[in-house]
Amino acid sequence: MNQQSVINCQPELVEGGQQLTTILVTGGHGQLASCIKCIEAKYDDLNFIYTDYHDLDICDLNQVQSFFAANTIDYCVNCAAYTAVDKAEEEKELAFKVNAEGPKNLAMVCHENKVVLIHISTDFVFDGNKREPYTEEDKPNPISVYGSSKLQGEVEIQQFLKEYFIIRTSWLYSEHGHNFMKTMLRLAEARDEISVVADQVGTPTYAGDLAAVIIQIIRSKSQNYGLYHYSNEGAVSWYDFAKAIFVEINEGIRVSSIKTEDFPTFAKRPSFSVLAKFKIKEKMSIEIPYWKDSLIKVISKLYK
State the Rg of the chain over Cα: 19
**How long is the chain?**
304
Torsion of CA 17, 23, 24, 25, to 10 degrees: -140
Burial class (CB in 10 A: 0-12, 13-18, 19+), 221: exposed
Listed residue (176, 279, 268, 302) closest to 222, CA to CA:
279
Q: Find the helix or strand (DSSP H, E) in which 181 lies.
A: helix 180-188
The whole-angstrom separation of Cα 34 and Cα 92 is: 27
Q: Give the helix/strand (H/E) hosting 206.
A: strand 205-206
Nearest to 203 by CA among 177, 169, 165, 176: 169
Which of 230, 236, 241, 232 is CA-nearest to residue 283? 230
Question: Which among 61, 171, 55 has a CA at the least distance from the CA of 107?
Answer: 61
> Which of these, 172, 160, 163, lies nearest to 221 by C-alpha position?
163
Q: Give catalytic residues, as residue numbers.
A: 146
